[in-house]
A and B are shown apart, each in its own frame.
Chain A
Amino acid sequence: MTALFENAIPLAALYGLIAVGYVVIYRASGVLNFAHGGLMVLGAFIGFALAGIGIVGIVVFPLVILAGAAIGGLFYRLAMRPMAGQPVWAAVLVTIGFGFFVVIGIVQMIWSPRIRDFSGDLGFANGNHEVLGLRFSTIELVLIASFVVVEAALLAFYRWSRSGIRMRAASQDHHLSAYRGINIDIVFALAWGIATGLVMYVGFAYSVDARLDMGAIGALALKAFPAALAGGMDSVGGVVAGALVIAFAEVYVQLEVDPLLAEAVPYLALLLVLIVRPWGLFGTPEAVDRV
């Protein structure tokens, strides 16, 4: 029982953080961003490169987020903005081409494709802590705390801040909000920046905790799709429920049934959600493109 909670809660935080990135971008531009895996790898390598030149571990995290925000905004401007007017799947394929191939290839050329273990380079020990009778590593606790903070911050952002309200308006109707004087380019670039900064930070934190394994990170990013969809692709709060359900189901199967099957569990859940309730637990039914 403790093993289930010790493994599933950090995994839920990981899925949740990645899935929130999907939701922010989906709400803004209606695009599924398949580039998250590649961006997480990029975040990890940028983080370790910064740590390698002697920057203290604590400072590296905000720098990675800033780098991610810049990259996300730039990616929107250079690759997503020109896709306006094209079918949405074309934009999705652009994110696939960028995330699966361009970013990964460049990272491999600069830093080598091998699995790396950097956890010693950071200047602080990733120790174990006991919380409520469960043992978590420092980074796992940081990830769980980040997930809570990010959820609260995003909900508040959408609810009260001017930019957040603009973002909501723009996602409801691009044209109408543009007529009312909202600069939708800036709003969307902001959404891409937030999401990219977030996932690059998650990629870095995850690689500190485990190892920097591109294949594992890519698989993790894809398995966060079921979490986002189960909660509702357009629901920031729903992600919490989606991530918990998917993570607990996966870890339960991993521990009790078959580790190989556990890899397929999120996708089985995804199919189930798509068939039964495609808009997810907390999403809006109209947001789904159904036949």
Chain B
Amino acid sequence: MSSVSRGAGYFHRTYSQDLQQVNTRIRRVGLAGLIVLVLLLPTLVSGQYVDLAAQSAIAVVGALALNILTGYAGQLSLGHAALLGVGGFATGIAATEVGVPWPLDIAVAMVAGAVVGFVLGLPALRLRGLYLVLATVAAHFIAVYAFSHYQSSRSGIVGLTGMTLDRPAIGTFEFNTPTRWYYLLVAVAAVVALYNVNVLRTRPGRAWIAIRDRDLVASALGIAVVRYKLTAFVLSSSLAALAGSLLVYYNGSVSAESYTLNLAITYLVMVIVGGLGSTAGAIVGAIFVTCSLRLLTFALEALNTSSQFQTDYLIPLQVVLFGVLTVGFLLFEPRGLIGIWNRLRTYVELWPFGRRPLAERRR
């Protein structure tokens, strides 16, 4: 059954073996261990860490969405915060003003995200590289204008601080504790991750990679560049809207002020720190970026709890460290965390196992 034997190369003898995702004993054991760990996490750690884990799960969904567009299709975008906002506002409007019931409004948000993604993708048919980045920056600010215009046109408290959402519930089971949220969000993140892995092995997935590597060659090979670029934008935006929708439900409110360019940059950094063009990288990067800064804050808060100290030094320190992280990875490890992991693995496989590693790994 095992397709890998020591020192003998990598044999996939049948097509079904080639399709298998979890194809070695180590991988099966590792996956089972991971699932058990994820399921048991809320019983192992205290509330604020469960909260952090839930936020990481939302970040994973958002980063996976961006990874489709930037990692696979190679279209750099700073419009991700706007798409999260589209998801958030579509959810808010559908739930509080139209009265769409709970799980359906998330679907509405995803459709809205897909539509906006289609429009956002149109400039990408003419432009690439830095000019596309500028176009997405412009789209970001126009979207933020639309959000704040909508918000300020509402009367009363909605106009000032945004819409508030009720806690979603299935029957009488209400999602009101971090632990319940955690399980829901992890389940969604797992589904999105599985989808990500699989979509890469389909015709669109391969088309995206071809376009990313060289769009001229891709079109010469008969790939419909226009169609697949738009597909990438639509899919990525729809998933981003899902993340935005989950985020506003988790926070309980929607407000135009929370969708900043810095948020878009943060998601881009997650994908790059994890390793561009790798599903595992996007997941690891999202968790790493979300957790590392917050864990540092927890540690420093334990040392000094005055709120003056926090606003004057802790938050700026987080900002500096985030910048150092970004610049550091780009300068010294452009392949990201997954690049480090692959190098380590290659090292270990060569010695002590004496196995010739594959030339390059993705995924």
Give the B-binding residues of A (Cβ under 8 A). Answer: 32, 79, 82-83, 86, 88-90, 92-94, 96-98, 100-106, 108-109, 112-113, 222, 225-226, 229, 260-261, 263-264, 267-268, 270-271, 274-275, 278, 288-291
Whether B131 lies near A100 (C-beta < 8 A) is no
Residues of B within 8 A of A83 (CB): 330-331
Residue of A98, A105, A289 most packed against chain B (CB within 10 A):
A105
Q: Please name 5 pairs of A and B residues whose Cβ atoms are closer than 8 Å in the assembled complex, sorted by A.
A: A105-B316, A109-B320, A225-B134, A268-B138, A271-B139
Residues of B within 8 A of A222 (CB): 137, 141, 261
Q: A291 with B127: in contact, given A90-B334, A260-B148, A274-B135 (CB under 8 Å)? A: yes
Residue of B128, B131, B262 most packed against chain A (CB within 10 A):
B131
Q: A278 with B131: in contact, given A96-B265, A101-B320, A267-B138 (CB under 8 Å)? A: yes
Whether B145 lies near A291 (C-beta < 8 A) is no
The listed residue (A101, A108, A274) touching B134 by CB distance below 8 A is A274
Whether A108 lies near B319 (C-beta < 8 A) is yes
The listed residue (A88, A103, A261) touching B129 by CB distance below 8 A is A88
B149 interface residue per 8 A CB criterion:
yes
Residues of B within 8 A of A278 (CB): 126-127, 131
A79 vs B133: C-alpha distance in the bound complex, in angstroms?
Answer: 21
Whether B319 lies near A275 (C-beta < 8 A) is no
The count of chain B contact residues (Cβ–Cβ below 8 Å) is 50
CB distance from B182 to the nearest CB of A (A): 29
Residues of A within 8 A of B149 (CB): 260-261
A234 vs B215: C-alpha distance in the bound complex, in angstroms?
Answer: 25
Give the A-binding residues of B (Cβ under 8 A). Answer: 76, 123-131, 133-135, 137-139, 141-142, 144-145, 148-149, 152, 215, 225, 261-262, 265, 268-269, 272, 311-313, 315-327, 330-331, 334
Residues of B within 8 A of A32 (CB): 130, 133-134
Residues of B within 8 A of A289 (CB): 127-131
A260 vs B265: C-alpha distance in the bound complex, in angstroms?
Answer: 24
CB distance from B357 to the nearest CB of A (A): 24
- With A104-B316, A289-B128 already in contact, 9 other A-B pairs whose C-beta atoms are closer than 8 Å: A97-B326, A101-B322, A105-B316, A108-B312, A267-B138, A275-B126, A278-B127, A289-B131, A291-B127
A260 vs B256: C-alpha distance in the bound complex, in angstroms?
Answer: 13
Q: A229 with B134: in contact, given A90-B334, A113-B311, A275-B126 (CB under 8 Å)? A: yes
CB distance from B13 to the nearest CB of A (A): 38
A79 vs B327: C-alpha distance in the bound complex, in angstroms?
Answer: 8
A79 vs B326: C-alpha distance in the bound complex, in angstroms?
Answer: 12
Residues of B within 8 A of A104 (CB): 316, 319, 323
Residues of B within 8 A of A288 (CB): 127, 131
CB distance from A249 to the nearest CB of B (A): 14
Whether A100 lies near B323 (C-beta < 8 A) is yes
Whether A263 lies near B145 (C-beta < 8 A) is yes
Whether A105 lies near B323 (C-beta < 8 A) is yes
